[in-house]
Chain A
Amino acid sequence: MKNSIGREIPDELLAGGREIFRGNNHRDGYGYTKAGPKVRAAVKPQESKVVPTLRAAIEACGLRSGMTVSFHHHFRDGDYVVNMVMREIEAMGIRDITIAASSVGSAHDPVAAMIESGVVTGLQTSGIRGRMGEVVSHGKLATPAVIRSHGGRVRAIEMGEVHIDVAFIGAPSCDEFGNARGKGGKSDCGVLSYAMVDAKYADRVVVITDTLVPFPNFPPSIESVDVDCVVVVDEIGNAKKIASQAIRISQDPRELKMASDCARVMAALPYFKDGFSFQTGAGGPSLAVNRFIEPVMRERGIKMKWALGGITKPTVELLERGLIECIVDTQDFDTDAVASVHENRNHYEISTSQYANPMNKGAFVNKLDFAILAALEIDTDFNVNVVTGSDGVLRGAPGGHPDASAGAKCTIIVTPLVRGRIPTVCDRVVTVTTPGESVDVLVTDYGIAVNPSRPDIARALDEARIAHTTIEALRDRAYGMVGVPDEIAFGDHVVAIVEARDGTILDVVWQVEAHDA
């Protein structure tokens, strides 16, 4: 059955009440009862929840085959927790596990073998890269993976579509009772936003830390009232990879040109006024936009009220220079962002539900003026793909992309027209992760296109004498340079379901054949 963006969704996926995507706001006003965890009360006063080993924690939680475990990705490529837990699970002879993670990446390459051996048979995630992406793309996972945005993931948890049996939460610091924070340890990640909802909705919660601190570890991101046990290990991750050295703004002239054009577009729109709000991706050109809006803000004497999402040094600098009033933070990418959320009283941590859940009573993304984001591909319907490479292999992360773009008054995609020989602007993206209705403007190195659904933006650009063209013209330009790509040959087996934010099916990912060359 075709959904509202023309993607064919196989009927067998719609059994059991799953619905096809019918537009961003189709489920507005939908009523439901929130899920709740099964709690094992700790009535009798206990001195400490620390258990001697990870295995003891897994046993204490009663984890067995067929269950679902959850993880967060605040430790990014430096994460040791997922592998540590999964190796123990494998060693205990437990199989048929579903991993519900906020994201998985190349740090988790060892888990790919567990997919092939059947230890892991289900995967729900907001991002998938490295070996995991390859084995899933090659059809090795027993059930289709479910790809959700950050907001969609917490929505599924809160609505009970994903039930977490045991949440394993790595934390830079924790006290013996389970109060955990993203700071105060050996390898701080700043915030624990992705794990907050897991802690509230999982039946059992295990905090894994390498820095046990005196009680109470306050204010906590993860509260002891939700934690069953605490495990102390040598290292939760590689500190250098958890928070990189300050992420510097790109010096690549092409990225800078696009960032500069993006800032010009922003400055031409009515939303660019005192008190505006803004979220930017951490990729080269989107990040560089921070630098180009600063002089315009100074010239016009305006300030940003709040910046949202994943935070890096350039945004922290704007806060410190008084150009942003506050930062509302869900992830920290570099040591400067980690330090800032630790020290700056105008830099706040929020949960992913507050950030982006489309089906609570209103998340932060809904109040955004601008979202500046990247794309692996964008098609002439402005649909964006950020999860599959042009060869069809899973190697990306919707993350907060679908959330911020759906919420923001103006979403600008900044991307080069071609990468190597691969056209970014194309007839039809391999996989839709963000529907075109969420996207308003495309800025490329070859020109700017405005979504025809936004004639107001086109007029504003005309008035500011900013040249723009159609997305079809940009596609023709790309194809003229690199040639029209041949279609990829897919298998007939669905390896992943891409859920829209509201839980309907936006698209599916088909199996690809393994290529050696």
Chain B
Amino acid sequence: MQYKTQAVAKPYFIAAIGLFVGQILFGLIMGLQYVIGDFLFPAIPFNIARMVHTNLLIVWLLFGFMGSAYYLVPEESETELFSPKLALVMFWIFLVAGALTVVGYLALPYATLAKLTGNDLLATMGREFLEQPLITKVGIVVVALAFLFNITMTVLKGRKTAISMVLLLGLWGLAVFFLFSFYNPDNLVLDKFYWWWVVHLWVEGVWELILGALLAFVLIKVTGVDREVIEKWLYVIITLTLVTGVIGTGHHYYWIGTPEYWQWWGSVFSALEPIPFFAMTVFAFNMVSRRRREHPNRAATLWALGTGVMSFLGAGLWGFLHTLAPVNYYTHGTQITAAHGHMAFYGAYVMVVLCMISYAMPILRGRAANSDKAQVVEMWGFWLMTVAIVFITLFLTGAGILQVWLQRISATPLSYMATQDQIMVFYWLREWTGVMFLIGLVVYIASFFIGGDKKAATA
């Protein structure tokens, strides 16, 4: 590693992977509750398991983003981190706060947790993905501000590259849009309208800037292609992302009480959202094929290419599948949405964080790349998890298509639960594929503990 303060990234990456394991375990619990309804009831009701599953996802991705930023920014800025001590303090605060929140979810009834944590002062809890108690939300803001301060100061005192500017913009956007989670009017339509300013403008907006910056950084490192070339394509791709994605928020405003013109605005712009993802795929493959060096870390290259392909499939293609208003009329709020959500999150954000970890972790451990043996195991983890998520998505899509047909299109529509009984087989298949994902994750983690001949320690 070029700057010794980059080392603060390491605990962030380790925590990210640890929480990732938790996320998957709770995913498996939920998957089983889909088929064996009373599994673990009443110890862990489905809503609690889901909250843990999605909140852990968000938190570990945030750990991943922060670790990536702490690794990337000193190297891009060519200077030591402004305050490695602050970074470590914030790490522990965030980890402890996150752990306490999860313990709170599991140990207390949610209503009790709400009462104990001041939800009566400012009601923000109980909305999808924003279930965190008020104090946790405030904690997230504090940690984010301290983190942004640290990163921004580092960039300001050093070299300002396109990659670090884009990353910074994405991270600031992340913090700014999170503030809308504190706005929870009684008016349900307004509540939902601005709820999407957090959720959509995160995942189809500012997070994509982070994704682009991290991917560009790794591509420069592993391919040796000119920074100038990679950075200008980065700008082009994220321009396309925001041109389509910001107004694309409209695809959430079809059926929640918002005016009907959103059906047109949302359809037109979100129909174009696959384009930047496609551009990113082409970009990643192009840069790798134009590479000027054979970087010993082939696993990192694989993750980078995987991010390109899977984000296009998950976010681009599976998003397009149900984004047009006339289609969405039937698919809104079904397993189709779940299918899209799983592959999009994995393809775009899980993979880019794992890509960054794959590139940076060997260097943080004092070598340019892991041994061939360890890399082969890591790639096994890659393929197991990636193939598993593809099949999870396919099975959920199958479940969704049948659900839409039986419950919403057929001449004699079935009730919700009667429909669920009919599509049980897909949920079973999804659960077994989930087990495959877990095996992939275990293999991935095992790769960190495999020795063998290390590659030269030049970084």
The answer to whether A binds B is: no
Residues of A within 8 A of B (CB): none
Residues of B within 8 A of A (CB): none
